[in-house]
Amino acid sequence: MAGFAFSVSIIFEHMHNGYLESTIKQFAYYRSLGEKAMAQVQDEDLFRQYNEESNSMATIVKHLWGNMMSRWTDFLTTDGEKEWRHRDAEFENDLKTRENVMQKWNQGWDLLESTLSSLTAADMEKIIYIRNQGHTVYEAINRQLAHYPYHVGQMVFLAKMWAKAPWQSLSIPRNKSADYNADKFAQEKSRTHFTDEYLKEK
């Protein structure tokens, strides 16, 4: 029985570690998408709004930064909605330069990545709180893995509208799906993460 319990423990540890590795790569992928989108617009377009109710790319970055700093600071030990966070102010853009925008962007993503890298299999079933609502670590990570790509997608959409030069596709180029599939199916089956090819280009 002890041997069986040990085997189950090893299996679950492998599952937890596999999940963490996968999520770290997926977050890195969306970070890369945002950076590649912002790189295709002029500095002034980072601050451009479609209308009064919409956010600029800079404002989205400021919101992501505020959320990340709040959620991932002392992730396992304090509520994810920190008393010092001012969420409403995140939508009042006071960033003035591309350098300001990228400083916030990098600070938030760097904290997220360092926190995830510090987690272990033993942490995954722990309960953490966001506004007093309990989440397993799995649930808390999944919550942000849905939230951040939602906003990165908005940034990509804005960048495609504002880009002056021909848009450089961030996924499979338009009308190139057949070529892409032919290349993939010409290769041997392999166990890789879908983000690997995109992150290699970063």
Domain boundaries, the chain: 2-169
**69, 108 in Cβ contact below 8 A?**
yes
Distance of CA 116 to the CA centre of its chain: 12
Asked if the model's pLDDT at residue 12 lies above 70, the reply is no
CA dihedral sign, ordered 79, 85, 90, 91: positive
Residues 6+ apart with CB under 8 A from 100: 58
- pLDDT band at 193; cut points 50, 70, 90: confident
- Phi, then psi, of 134 in degrees rounded to 5: -75, 140
Each residue's pLDDT tens digit, 141-159: 999 999 999 999 999 999 9
Distance of CA 44 to the CA centre of its chain: 24
Asked if the model's pLDDT at residue 117 lies above 60, the reply is yes
Give the DSSP per-residue string, 89-135: GGGS----SHHHHHHHHHHHHHHHHHHHHH--GGGTT-EEEETTEEE
Asked if the model's pLDDT at residue 74 lies above 60, the reply is yes
**25, 195 in Cβ contact below 8 A?**
yes
Give me the percent of the chain exceeding a pLDDT of 90: 74
Each residue's pLDDT tens digit, 76-110: 999 999 999 999 999 998 999 999 999 999 999 99
Q: Under DSSP, is residue 171 helix (H, G, I), strand (E, B) or coil?
A: coil
Distances 111 to 66, 105, 126, 184 between C-alpha atoms, Å: 11, 10, 20, 35
CATH code of the domain made up of 2-169: 1.20.120.450
**114, 95 in Cβ contact below 8 A?**
no
Q: What's the length of the chain?
A: 202
pLDDT of residue 171: 86
Interval 49-74 mean pLDDT: 97
